[in-house]
Amino acid sequence: MDFAQADAVNQAIRLLALRHRARITALLAPLGLHPGQEALLLELARTGPMIQAKLSGALAVEPPSVTLMTRKLEAAGHVRRVPAPGDRRASVVELTEGGAALVERVKELWCGLAEETLAGVPDATAAELPALLRTLAGNVDARRGREG
């Protein structure tokens, strides 16, 4: 691949990531949420209560990030932490009733953002996009793993 093509690909990915994050930041602000917190709430809604360490893996973020997000969401009344059965050092995170209601609002925002992002993209291309993006992410992760 020559530099011009490489630059076009990398700049497009960078620009999309920046604009997507800015847009979700603006959409989440009225709900009192910050980027990343919505992913934690959605993961709990998908899977049910989860030990913080597993939540970290599911979200592909470092454990201290999950701890900080969980503390903030707990202070806001959206999640609660309870001791893990059989392991006093671990905490299980679960949605509260208010957190479950908030998840429904987050899902609406999430759908709207996807629709905005995919405006003008043919349905067939949109259907293929998640797999393509997972492949790209996997390629970057695999490379990072070999160098790390």
pTM: 0.88
Rg (C-alpha) for the chain, rounded Å, is 18
Could you list the pLDDT tens digit for every one of the 148 residues in the chain?
A: 999 999 999 999 999 999 999 999 999 999 999 999 999 999 999 999 999 999 999 999 999 999 999 999 999 999 999 998 888 788 999 999 999 999 999 999 999 999 999 999 999 999 999 999 999 999 988 766 556 5
Q: Is 45 left (phi over 0), alpha (psi -120 to 50) or beta?
A: alpha
Domain 3-138 annotated CATH 3.40.50.300: no
